[in-house]
Amino acid sequence: MSLRTLDTLGPLAGKRVIIRCDFNVPLKDGVITDDGRLRASLPTLNALLDAGARVVAVSHLGRPKGEPDPQYSLKPVAGRLSELLGRPVAFASDTVGDSAHETADALEDGQLAVLENLRFNAGETAKDDAERRSFAASLAELGDVLVSDGFGVVHRKQASVYDLAKLLPSAAGLLIAAELDVLDTLTENPVRPYTVVLGGSKVSDKLGVIDHLLPRVDRILIGGGMLFTFLAAQGHKVAASLLEADQIETAKGYIEAAKEKGVELILPTDVVVASAFGADAEHVVTSADAIEETPFGASGLGLDIGPETAAAFAAAIRASKTVFWNGPMGVFELAPFAAGTKAIAQALTEVDGLSVVGGGDSAAAVRQLGFADSAFGHISTGGGASLEFLEGKKLPGLEVLGWA
């Protein structure tokens, strides 16, 4: 089976099209601080509007507890979409209530409305199948067809992602199609040399990815908080740095497996160690095998890869034809510990081939550090979904669209 795409839905003029987007953007005091996911949704939204559809956009934002919570309202999203699209965007103050029906009914051809946060209704994320299907049935009353374009949630069996796609004629939008094209290349047909850069806090978050990709790549670079578990596996002391003691043997196994498969596993040779967790904390660069020999002793915290490691990682990335990166190299939110992540991002912009930023914190980092989206081959809109795809898992939100 192959993915059902927009052209399988037939003419859309005059039809009410529900589009499941991923508008889960960061907000601060009601202001969107990173609109990358909104901009990623524009190609599909414009295609539907230009086709004369009456578009009802639905999404979640944050983790409200199944009831309305003003701090998670999608109203700022509707406002920003209006600016990005250069046309009015209506907003419904509920999900399937009177406001949603009145707003959807008032749409004319080529007009767009955004409904309030789906997760204000407990049925969206319910574990109970009947409760989820009931909410999906209420959503289905608002449209004739469904376009699923929220890649960041396709690994979730949720009402608007899975159940709704069974109730209405459904197809994937342009964003999901583009994501799958890139991720399929990464797993099935990468141009070599192929390098995977993994960071973030925990080895346990990346076990499936390492298992699935180890036989498929030429080199793996390890940074972020997870690096300290690998250093411990090499027999080094890591002071008070983040350590998953229960994963040390797993890390040892990966080091051995990489040798057996001829995969170059590159671990940090130096790290930035701080006296405490904070932007104003005293910090030094030290060798990866001498972390407890800094002035901070056993209380030192490793918060970034060091400059020697950053240079080695960057060289390995630039020498590659395909690169996938998921997870920051350090605590990039604090300026003294952002250099490693920035070096990786810069190197990805210089790849002569396909460079992929794997969503989540990595996507947030490149934007916060001043890089344009266009500098990379692809920035995924779904960190967790990307990882699960690369683990080889079946994703319910894709299977229901025909992807096998």
Q: Which of 52-66, 79-93, 359-373 has the lowest mean pLDDT?
A: 359-373
Any known ligand binding at 277? Answer: no
- Nearest alpha carbon to residue 259 among 288, 225, 234: 234
Distance CA 359, CA 226 (A): 18
Q: pLDDT tens for residues 262-299?
A: 999 999 999 999 999 999 999 999 999 999 999 999 99
80 is in an annotated binding site: no
SS (H, E, C) 373-391: HHHCCEECCCHHHHHHHHC
Task: Name the catalytic one among 52, 79, 278, 384.
Answer: 384
Total residue count of the chain as it appears in this document? 404
Give yes or no: 360 in active site.
yes
Tokens of 284: 């030094």
Q: Looking at the DSSP assignment, which residues form a beta bridge with residue 18? A: 56, 146
205 in helix, strand or coil?
Answer: helix
Please state the separation of Cα 178 from the chain's center in Å. 14
Q: What is the DSSP string of 113-171?
A: EEPPPGGGSGGGS-SSHHHHHHHHHHHHTT-SEEEE--GGGTTS--IIIIIHHHHS-EE
Give the sheet arrangement for strand 301-305, strand by strand.
283-287, 270-274, 301-305
362 annotated to a ligand binding site? yes
* 46 marked as binding residue: no
Model confidence pLDDT, tens digit, residues 135-188: 999 999 999 999 999 999 999 999 999 999 999 999 999 999 999 999 999 988
Q: Does the annotation count 202 as an active-site position? A: yes
Task: Indicate which residue of 202, 216, 252, 321 is catalytic.
Answer: 202
Q: What is the pTM of this model?
A: 0.90
- The answer for residues whose C-beta is within 8 angstroms of residue 380's C-beta and 6 or more apart is 151, 179, 182, 183, 356, 357, 358, 359, 363, 386
* DSSP structure class, residue 221: E
Establish whether 60 is an annotated binding residue: yes
Coil, strand or helix at 44: helix
Which one, of 341, 269, 278, 282, lies nearest residue 308 by Cα?
Answer: 269
**Predicted confidence band at 383 (pLDDT cuts at 50, 70, 90)?**
confident
Handedness of CA 167, 168, 170, 176 (dihedral sign): negative
Is 192 annotated as a binding-site member? no
360 is in an annotated binding site: yes
Q: Which of 4, 15, 37, 54 is catalytic?
A: 37
Q: State the Cα angle at 396 between 391 and 399, rounded to 5°.
A: 95
Confidence of residue 356 (pLDDT cuts 50, 70, 90): very high
For range 191-218, the mean pLDDT? 92
The helix/strand/coil state of 55 is strand
Q: What is the pLDDT of residues 222-243, one digit of tens each?
A: 999 999 999 999 999 999 999 9
Average confidence (pLDDT) over 45-65: 97
Separation of first and last alpha carbons in the chain:
6
Q: Which residue has tokens 């995977």? A: 196
Q: Per-residue confidence at 404, pLDDT binned at 50, 70, 90? A: confident
214 is in an annotated binding site: no
Task: Look at residue 205 and tell me whether its pLDDT is greater than 80.
Answer: yes
What does the pLDDT look like over 78-119, one tens digit per residue? 999 999 999 999 999 999 999 999 999 999 999 999 999 999
Catalytic residue among 360, 382, 383, 397: 360
Q: Is the pLDDT of residue 359 over 80?
A: no
Whether 225 is catalytic is no
DSSP class of 243: -
Residue 123 annotated as part of some ligand binding site: no
Q: Could you tell me which residues come within 8 angstroms of residue 53 by beta carbon, excluding any fewer than 6 positions away? A: 12, 13, 14, 15, 16, 17, 109, 110
160 is in an annotated binding site: no
| Known active-site residue 318 | no
Residue 389: partners with Cβ closer than 8 Å, 6 or more residues away: 155, 180, 183, 187, 395
* Whole-Å CA distances, 229 to 140, 245, 250, 309, 334: 48, 7, 9, 17, 22
So what's the pLDDT on residue 1? Answer: 56
Mean pLDDT for the chain overall: 96
39 annotated as belonging to a binding site for a ligand? no
